[in-house]
Amino acid sequence: MSGSPRGSRRATARSPGVRPAFPRGGVLVSEFMLQQTPVSRVIPRLEEWLARWPTPAALAAVPPGDAVRAWDRLGYPRRALNLHAASVAITTRHGGVVPSDVDELLALPGVGPYTARAVAAFAYGIRVPVVDVNVRRVLARAVRGVGEPGPARVAEELAAMETLLPADPERARLVNAGTMELGQTVCTARAPDCGACPIVDQCAWRAAGYPEYTGPAAPKQKRYAGSDREVRGRILRELRASELPVPAARVAELWPDAVQRERALAGLLSDGLVVDELGAYALPSS
């Protein structure tokens, strides 16, 4: 199984192989942004972010609220706080250099198994398996012969991807990125384009006659409309738009259900995304 990410929109956000000067810190930023956010939305925000904060030290030098404000509508804004905290840790513990070791990456705030391996592979060319939702789908179909990946099987899926990686680290990096690209653009969840698939003759699902998936379903994300996430988003949007603390009376106008609004606000305060400034609310400054 092989493929090249060069020239793809996903690679533009993820891989230093497409841009000779793409910084290793940029790979870390892109991986934070790509968590649960489509590539098309990430690319313009990534370019703006790196123009403003080209290094972890540059981001670490500003208040965390600046990161939350610049995150804008990428969603899941705790990622902005985690990215800021990771940048502070990189600056204080690693001299401003993003570490290459997977365990050291895992010790950074907000960095999980996928992000740690993605940074090691794409920023440093280290031969480690990288498994995201697109890779999981390709592995399920091409290797296991089932139509959907179902719930995550982290150890099993990492081991399966490990067996597919060439020994050469550069080729392994391309296979990691190419498999992601294959799952994103060809072996899609709803309409796989088998006619365009470069590994169609090796696909176990095709060989089995495309059997329907009967296994356990993967957890589905709850609807955004009317959810606490939407309320949180409205509050944060109001705070991003203001350089001064927003009065509680204005926050009360943002959502009609007082119980849900207060629950969302309490969650934002608990997460550190919002601070209480004597009855008004603002993004964190320290």
- Helix/strand/coil for 275: strand
List beta partners, residue 282: 275
Give the separation between CA 286 and CA 266, rounded to whole angstroms: 19
Note if 31 is an active site residue. Answer: yes
3-state secondary structure 2-66: CCCCCCCHHHHHHCCCCCCCCCHHHHHHHHHHHCCCCHHHHHHHHHHHHHHCCCHHHHHCCCHHH
Give the separation between CA 176 and CA 11, rounded to whole angstroms: 11
Catalytic residue among 31, 170, 181, 238: 31
Residue 91 neighbours by CB distance under 10 Å: 18
Residue 137 neighbours by CB distance under 10 Å: 21
CA distances from 58 to 25, 32, 50, 84, 88 (A): 11, 17, 10, 10, 9
Report H helices in the chain.
9-14, 24-34, 39-52, 56-60, 64-71, 78-93, 102-106, 113-124, 133-138, 154-164, 169-185, 204-207, 228-240, 248-252, 258-271
- CB of 23 closer than 8 Å to CB of 46: no
**Which residues are the active-site residues?**
31
